Structure 1
């Protein structure tokens, strides 16, 4: 089987990490080639190529991050260059002759992949990582109307329409699968492949090193959170819940790794509750496994999160996870076995769950061991690849059957047609 994947938007994104993990653990299951939009996106490309273990062909389709300053005309020219790159990409695809074409749901990825799939007459698979909604059509753009108009003028497929029309949708959780079926896609065209995580080895002394860096006493209980700082990710509620605990527990610390729009709100909230000596915002970190090795509890009360990699990282690090009983997290965390799930939005219950774990070291250890085991046995890359390969086989077999059926019908029509004198 020849698999052609597209990685266009997002740089070092969660989608890229999941994609590379699937490819890097496929063994001999299928041959893979990736068309990767690369213009110098930091170390994202290097990480992807090293993880994927596949033939990765780079091409600059003109797109740049929304954060990069540019005039309106410069941005428009970049999108036009993207559209003009389609023939070059199609030539690459024709030379490779794939049996199936794959991309994430991202606008630029799915539009280009869909154009190639239609031109070659091969099935397209879309890997859905986000909730179904109008934001998929605009790529989370800050100027959605302008982007919609540009997409229409350039003839780019709407990702929502692609989800309805593609051969198969892979979702990262059953929570998302249910959304796709409610959106009108038949159950046989939607499959869940949970995100996977490899248990990583930790350097000896990493716990002590991180704690020294962050000035955390060895006997303190460190509660960790890692991810984008967004209102939906629950860091604000986490600080509020933590504030309930400081009178009862003196030797506790809350360390939040990551950056994002909610940082200013978090800083103000920390000052409001006078938690400057107990709560740290440490920004983006590239050493999350080591960072988590210094922790005792992982907290991630996100809302409607499809299947957060951050929770997987916490479980894989052997930490009990405290979260809302919400979204795909309920497929990751088993309540009272690998963590504690509480009603969404109930800050008091969130604080109580944290207090339970702070006060019970044996419970923390037992849940942490079961958390790590759950990742190793149920959410490993090998399991995800097996499920993904099954999807590929079903999709390509159905495409071959449809093609054979089409030839058979055409042959029967030709035999019934009267000879032309």
Structure 2
């Protein structure tokens, strides 16, 4: 199948970029001819090394530039005889929609960030992929017909982004609690910092590691510095792959307020972390509804502190939850994501073409 993915950029900034890059590379490994159109970025070298041709399509939201990009996308789709276009961001979907109509080919969209109002525009797709059951339910409430909505749960195991992964665990102070994510309110990091202040009072040897960057970094550093636990909190900044931190951590915590289907949970489970996650959006599904990780109420630092203390009080339970992280772990492979996505493409093709694509 000749597949064209389109997204705003390929920079290491967003989970939806990582998901799109992982999917494109996995589809190429399965023998499909894959192209990716974007404004460019960090992952273009990786994509090209995986046999994916990268095309430049400017996504700047200015009428003249968008019109130029629309015609450029149409020319590329026609010249390459593309069979399906897969859009991963709102601007990409708006650009691809008229191109797909003119060429008579399906547009598939993936709703990565359902919490954004603009996610409604992803309903332009012939098929709309939701990255978790909760996202699917939300899109149905927004008017997307169930007949064209498909759920393909996120997964990262086997990602080409990790081909040169360092397996050696990071040297961390134990007991260690780890957070990995963007430093912005949606991820709920202040809840964890306040929870850790409670934990640290009972376990003064405990240490909190915060991996990631974002616009609220200084705010969160000031918050940590104002608490008694300040000396036991490390802001590690951005890293290309948090896996060595995950391999070393005693407990991985994701205290999000909103998170459609965070890739980091797939990565943490692959690293065999004992996981605690907020029971919100797609987190319960990625943790097998409590079978593969502990769930706590969101926006509740005391409940989060209690869960961490419960594990630190009984270190053998940390080992148990590390083992539980492997429950149905095979569901989180990128190959499964790729194959299910290809099935969505085939369902969108005219019946004759669908049979050939199969």
| Matches of 1:346 and 1:35, distance apart in 2 | 41
* 1:270 corresponding residue in structure 2: 224
Question: Offset at 1:391?
Answer: 0.7
Asked if 1:304 corresponds to 2:282, the answer is: no
Of 32, 36, 39, the residue aligned with 1:37 is 39
Question: Offset at 1:60?
Answer: 5.2
Max Rg structure: 1
* 2:249 corresponding residue in structure 1: 295
Structure scoring higher RCO (CA < 8 A, sep ≥ 6) equals 2
* 2:17 corresponding residue in structure 1: 16
| Matches of 2:116 and 2:52, distance apart in 1 | 33
| Matches of 2:228 and 2:193, distance apart in 1 | 11
For 1:385-416, what per-residue CA distance to the aligned partner results, in whole angstroms no more than 9, with x for missing partners?
Answer: 22111111111145969xxxxxxxxxxxxxxx
**SS of the residue 1:304 aligns to:** coil
**SS of the residue 2:244 aligns to:** helix
Aligned residues: 348
Q: How does 1:72-83 map to 2 (within 5 A)?
A: 76=62, 80-83=64-67
| Matches of 1:32 and 1:10, distance apart in 2 | 15
Q: How does 1:17-416 map to 2 (within 5 A)?
A: 17-26=18-27, 27-28=29-30, 30-38=32-40, 41=41, 43-50=42-49, 53-59=50-56, 61=58, 63=60, 76=62, 80-104=64-88, 106-134=89-117, 136=118, 160-161=120-121, 163-198=122-157, 203=166, 206-207=168-169, 210-211=170-171, 216-217=172-173, 220-334=174-288, 337-375=291-329, 377-397=330-350
Aligned residues of 1:11 and 1:44 also touching (Cα < 8 A): yes
**TM-score, length of structure 1 as denominator length:** 0.76
**SS of the residue 2:230 aligns to:** coil
Question: Offset at 1:271?
Answer: 2.0
For 1:119-157, what per-residue CA distance to the aligned partner results, in whole angstroms no more than 9, with x for missing partners?
Answer: 2111111111011542x2xxxxxxxxxxxxxxxxxxxxx
| Matches of 1:170 and 1:246, distance apart in 2 | 42
Aligned residues of 1:23 and 1:54 also touching (Cα < 8 A): no
**SS of the residue 1:246 aligns to:** helix
For 1:223-275, what per-residue CA distance to the aligned partner results, in whole angstroms no more than 9, with x for missing partners?
Answer: 00011011120110001111111221122100001111222321222122122
| Matches of 1:196 and 1:354, distance apart in 2 | 26
* 1:6 corresponding residue in structure 2: 6
For 1:347-394, what per-residue CA distance to the aligned partner results, in whole angstroms no more than 9, with x for missing partners?
Answer: 11110101111222222122212314533x111112212211111111
Q: Return 5+ residue gaps in structure 1 as ranges.
A: 64-74, 137-158, 402-421
* 1:66 corresponding residue in structure 2: none
**SS of the residue 1:24 aligns to:** helix
